[in-house]
Structure 1
Amino acid sequence: MDNKRQYLLDLEKIRSGEDTRTTLMIKNIPNKYTSKMLLLGIDETHKGAYDFLYLPIDIKSKCNVGYAFINMVSPLHIISFAEAFDGKTWEKFNSKKVTSLAYARIQGKVALVSHFQNSNLMNEDKQYRPILFQYEGQESDDLANFSSSNLNIFVRRPDGSYIEDALDSPKGDQDRKP
């Protein structure tokens, strides 16, 4: 079994360059949050600071399972991300849940893509798949060895908008009524 201490964030080790991991697990997300809500919330303060986001959704209930994974483009972005999100409550749905951050077991965009690309999850609707981000005109050399036919790739324009937005599909943003 993994030692849980290895997943704890230490901002001083990040500042000093001693810890260079980039992938975080965001815990205690209210179950009604959609990928789009999470994306918009993160983009308020960290647009362009991450290149991978995955909010696992229970396909039967259409609700998230309470955690997400995000890969920051630099370890230093973790510092401001932790300051903005760690220990904070969520604004929507009157949730009392308090955000908690930890390092993810799988680290880095390439490792994440490798992990998910052959998963059964990739046969599901795009709204349930991990999202990869790259900038318009940016080559995706790090993904060249992967089949991209089933990847959910959003390309950011210089103005911050997205070329493809699967999250705006009619099924992607439905609010479930109990």
Structure 2
Amino acid sequence: MQLPPRPYPPALPPLLPLPTVVSPPQENVRRRRSIPPRLRWVEKWIPNNETTVMIKNIPFHYDRGLMIRFLDDFCLQENEKNRDSNEENIHVFAYDFLYLPMNFKMTSSAGYGFVNFTDHRTLSIFFGHFSERAKAYPNSARSVQMVIAKIQGKNALVNRYKNTRFVCESEECLPVQFNPPRNGSRESVQVITVGKFEVIPDIPIDRF
């Protein structure tokens, strides 16, 4: 038995156009991606002309090579984010000066260091990335802490230490500047030491 044809349903009303979403400016997108909302105060707190930071609570077993690796990893990670974001008016994360003071009696790090970045915008990202003591140094339980340095800029730092004589065992203890600046790409850069070093004199055991 053949069933009678079913009537077609009434035509549906035309779809309404989707609302237009206005994208926020690229600068705001960059800011929200890099700094969590609870840390927005960091950008307002750091002046636009500051580029040098004093890193604190550095593990005592860290030397200059480990600090370079630590800073290279940060710059590499942020520069990769920039490439993936396809944003305009971005800057390169890089640094051109590093000084890690040493405790020569203990032959270990003094627990702090100075780094100069090439762009003031890096500081807000750097502070936001390691704020609230949430992140530790690699291979250490110590949290990363930092403050704005009193001496600002590579030229001022070089002038501060260029005539200083450091009593140490090698040039590995001296401040250094990088040409071109290090950006985490692992490309070879020139390392220029700042200041002079004097070898620690040997003290005879039977002197006293």
TM-score category (smaller protein) = 0.5 to 0.7
Look up the match of 1:173.
Answer: none
Assess, with a 3 A threshold, how the Cα gap between structure 1 residues 38 and 123 changes in structure 2: closer, same or farther.
closer
Q: How do 1:97-112 and structure 2 match up within 5 A?
A: 97-112=142-157
SS at match of 2:55: strand
Which amino acid counterpart does residue 12 of structure 1 have in structure 2?
K
Assess, with a 3 A threshold, how the Cα gap between structure 1 residues 165 and 98 changes in structure 2: closer, same or farther.
same
- Structure 1: which 4+ aligned runs deviate by more than 4 Å? 155-159, 163-166
Distance across 1 between alignment mates of 2:165 and 2:122: 31
Look up the match of 1:91.
Answer: 138
> How many equivalent pairs are there?
134
In the alignment, structure 1 segments of 5+ residues that lack a partner are 1-8, 136-154, 167-178
Matched, 1:50 2:98: no
8 Å contact from structure 1 (residues 49, 72) kept in 2: yes
8 Å contact from structure 1 (residues 54, 70) kept in 2: yes
Alignment equivalent of 1:80, drawn from 121, 125, 136:
125
Query: Based on CA coordinates, which of the two structures has the bigger radius of gyration?
Result: 2
Distance across 1 between alignment mates of 2:109 and 2:146: 17
Distance across 2 between alignment mates of 1:50 and 1:102: 16
Which amino acid counterpart does residue 64 of structure 2 have in structure 1?
S
Distance across 2 between alignment mates of 1:103 and 1:129: 21
8 Å contact from structure 2 (residues 56, 112) kept in 1: yes
Look up the match of 2:63.
Answer: 34
8 Å contact from structure 1 (residues 52, 71) kept in 2: yes
Share of identical aligned residues, percent?
30
RMSD of aligned C-alpha atoms? 2.8
